[in-house]
A and B are shown apart, each in its own frame.
Chain A
Amino acid sequence: MSRHWQLLLRSGAFVSGMLIILFWAACALFGRLFAPFDPFAADVLSTLTPPSAAHWFGTDQLGRDVLSRVIVGSRDVLEVAPLATALGLVLGVLLGLTTGYFRGLIDEAVSRVIDAVLALPLVIIALLALSALGASSATVIVVVGFIFTPLIARTVRAAVLAERALDYVAAAQLRNEPTLRILLGEILPNIMPPILVEATVRLGYAIFAVASLSFLGFGIQPPSPDWGLAVSESYGLINGGIWWPALFNTLAISSLIVAVNLAAEGIQATADA
């Protein structure tokens, strides 16, 4: 494992991605301590002021400091997106392991369902599900997690198929190893590299999905300073020349997604090595 860490730490993409992620994580945890203003304090006297020396990123329609809100705004997405990814990962890995290992009828059936799910646009299904279940952080986690499950399962299944053909699996069967043990103790450790890559790639998508859902009003709910939510509240103002609330929140979202993808790229490169 230490060899992998050494390789990772030598990868520029991974290190720069992780630095940005850690920066936003620190903002999520301790942002209230170093934000210049209270992100929730409205100031009706100075609404929609452009960036200035006092308010670097300007203020929004309630007069709240945009910089402070961007700093604190990473909290919800950094909670919801990883949890959704984790849920998808657990379900997807279990599904991929079983379908890949047993093959046969279950595999056929599940694979067709996966194909069908993959054919539908992600955000549309999420919207349908969320309007049925009601929007909250918890439902976003569940819905995005479930949508990720077939995608992850497909990757895991392919890796399991390759491993299953190796004789160590036959050797385990010949000592009457319980199936669960073969799946989790024998095969799983060997397919960790592709799973890890898949997890980071999915995390990037999850951040994007959560931000999109918030933007559409089905995700994280006000008064959270969430970036996606903030963009949805302020994008209508762009036509009026008030660009700053939308721009800085959008930049924050992109920086986080780019950072996760950089980290994923680094992990992929070392997993292949």
Chain B
Amino acid sequence: MSESTDTLKVENLELAYRVRGRDLKVLHRVSLCIRRGESYGLVGESGSGKSTLALALVRYLPPNGRMLAGSILIGGRELLALDPGQLRELRATTVSMVYQDPARALNPSMRIGEQIAEIFRARGENAAAARSAAGILLERVRIGDREAVLERYPHQLSGGMQQRVVIAMALAINPALLILDEPTTSLDATVEVEILDLLGELRRELSTSILFISHNLALVARMCDRVGVLYAGTLVEEGAALEVLRDPRHPYTVGLLRCLPRRGRTKNHSRLDTIAGFPPAPGDVLAGCVFAPRCGLADDKCRTCAPALRAFGARCSRCHYLERAQSLPRTTADELPTGLRIDREEPPLLQAKSLSKTFRSERSALRALHDVSLSLWPGETLGLVGESGSGKTTLARLLVGLSAPDAGGVLEMAGQTLAGRSEAREPEQLQALQIIFQNPDGALNRSHTVRQLIERVLVRLGRLPRSRRAARMLELLRSVRVDERYLDVRPRELSGGLKQRVAIARAFAGAPRIVVCDEPTAALDVSVQAAILNLLTELQARHRVSYVFISHDLGSVRYLSDRIAVLYLGRLLEIGPAERVFSGPHHPYTAALLSAVPRLEGAAQPHRLQGEIPSAIHTPRGCVFHTRCPRKLGPVCEQTEPPLLAGAEPGHEIRCHIPAAELQDRDA
């Protein structure tokens, strides 16, 4: 393979951030190359250095970032040798970058048309030519109503549409190299799948090389020819995408893949495996392999002698024992949790009857939740699934009493009516119903220590004599596996996973019977996510607590839930036993959601949704889903809202005019 066919060639790149007079190394001798037209996926957890690498490739590093050694060749030119003028020219003609958040990549005060035309005007084209070129670009990213979109401002477009525009702008220069840094992470699943489809098509049409950066292994498997796995600034494994993911040869890749809840496996089958310990901090110097401290296969050789990247076939792995990487022992024991038990003969613990929530402003009313009824049995997990704007979080806040439902809605716990607002609820009711918030950074008071955070709950809700509080606190910390030495530490000094564990300990401090979990793992890496899901299962088994588990990640919902409710625009579209909701018959929306999830096992044929999620201020008449439904029957869907009809078994209900039997046919 000659040099000239490589669009990007990075060799032995060493990079450091200078912090308080010390160089903290974040990339260690990273080498990779991307051939023309090839799509290369770079996978790694937060802190692995993947975004730093992307920034280095366009020399957009922050002022304290320094390249210590190595070379970066783009199209055969040495990036590090370019002067500012040449660098500008390179960015204007050869390399484009698409960032995670499209809303921040677009100038909010400029119309889309002007923003795109700017690129062409910078090249000296006149206004009219630039404008028509902008229109053609939008056509390339499959935007239908081009003239209207050109006239809009970024905030008038949905997230998916914004990201299309950003991609269009990145393509404007016909780049030889397109860098995509988590391009779909901030988008909903059904929008994500559209963007990925688009990128897949563009890849086939253009000869652009793509560097695709993501934390999502399944996504990378779908999008890329080859992948590199980055761990603590070191490239630990590289090879053809499907081979690496199906037959990983580095213990880190093996461990990472095991953290993902596998299809069809739930808390009743097995515990998730995790990766023990923490990644090394930037600047830590390890004598041996970077992964050795966390690796179940590591021996003295691994701890003292850093392995080189060993090639086998077209792949390579940085492991002394790559042949037996897959025999990596499990970190968590595979024993079945005992004590998970649901008795449907018992009366439900929590019942919500026709809960609605309307947020009124002077001019409009936003119906965040409409007529939702559901029950929760002791020891059960009810999964709540839906895209942003579906009302998941609104429902969570209604349940715990952070906002009151509209008149007519009733909440009952253990047969007693719950007041709408938490301050009107009995102390025992507050104690029995707690919540774990999505973002532990906001949910833990940053000026309190771990001890203070938990002690307050013990004082307010624990009803324990002072003498027993200290013992109870240690017991709580042990049950969430937080070491005692963190007691007097403030949240800032804890890792994301530890913070969420403290938040869980706090939620359990009052010995609740129901815990609402609002996306508790959304902000966490996969390996940490697996540990948190295990912990929640363990606590459920031990205390027979019920969960309302909210997540947009269907994998974790499937793993943890006994029953699942699907929400769309504040309406309950489907509810039923978890395996039934996943196996069908599905509501057409559920079917679309399920097929939008990229899978390691290979893609199912996706049901694509048309159009955008309508606004909750102007909810569609009839069935709320009719504007995007691939199986719309006709006027009946536009005029009459379907009732929740019995599905395939008792307790399974689908809000659709199409009978369950027919829905099943189509799925099969």
Contacts and interface: CB of A to CB of B under 8 A. Distances in A.
B430 interface: yes
Nearest to B442: A166
Given A170-B402, A171-B437, A176 B444 contact: no
Contacts of A173: 402, 422-423
B90 interface: no
A189 B490 CA distance: 13
Given A171-B437, A171-B506, A176-B461, A190 B446 contact: yes
B510 interface: yes
Interface residues of A, number: 14
A194 to B, nearest CB: 14
Interface string B367-387: 000000000000000000000
A173 B403 CA distance: 11
B447 interface: yes
Interface in B410-461: 422-423, 427, 430, 434-435, 437-439, 442-448, 456-457, 460-461
A167 interface: yes
Contacts of B457: 175
A186 B438 CA distance: 19
A190 B445 contact: yes
A174 interface: yes
A30 interface: no
Interface in B441-488: 442-448, 456-457, 460-461
A176 B442 contact: no
B442 A168 contact: yes
Contacts, number: 53
A168 B453 CA distance: 10
Contacts of B439: 167
B400 interface: yes
Given A170-B402, A170-B437, A175 B444 contact: no
A177 B445 contact: no
A220 B437 CA distance: 56
B598 interface: no
A192 to B, nearest CB: 8
Contacts of A190: 445-447
B439 to A, nearest CB: 7
B491 to A, nearest CB: 9
B261 interface: no
Nearest to A166: B442
Given A170-B437, A171-B506, A189-B447, A177 B442 contact: no
Interface centre among A170, A186, A190 (most CB of B within 10 A): A170
Interface string A173-187: 111110000000010
Nearest to B397: A170
A190 B446 CA distance: 7
Q: Which bracket fits the contact residues of B?
A: 20 to 34
A258 B529 CA distance: 53
A175 B510 contact: yes
B401 interface: yes
A176 B506 CA distance: 14
Interface in A182-216: 186, 189-190
Given A167-B439, A171-B506, A176 B446 contact: no
B393 to A, nearest CB: 11
A171 B447 CA distance: 15
Given A167-B437, A167-B439, A174 B401 contact: yes
Contacts of B427: 176
A168 B439 CA distance: 10
Given A167-B437, A170-B402, A170-B437, A176 B460 contact: yes
Interface in B347-382: none
A142 to B, nearest CB: 32
A172 B453 CA distance: 10
Contacts of A174: 400-402, 422, 430, 434-435
A259 B508 CA distance: 51
Given A168-B442, A186-B445, A176 B423 contact: yes
B460 A175 contact: yes
A167 B461 contact: no
A68 to B, nearest CB: 47
Nearest to B434: A174
Interface in B495-526: 506, 510
A128 to B, nearest CB: 39
Nearest to A187: B445
Interface string B320-364: 000000000000000000000000000000000000000000000
Contact of A168 (B423, B438, B443): B443
Question: 3 shortest A-B CB distances, which residue pairs?
Answer: A189-B447, A167-B443, A166-B442
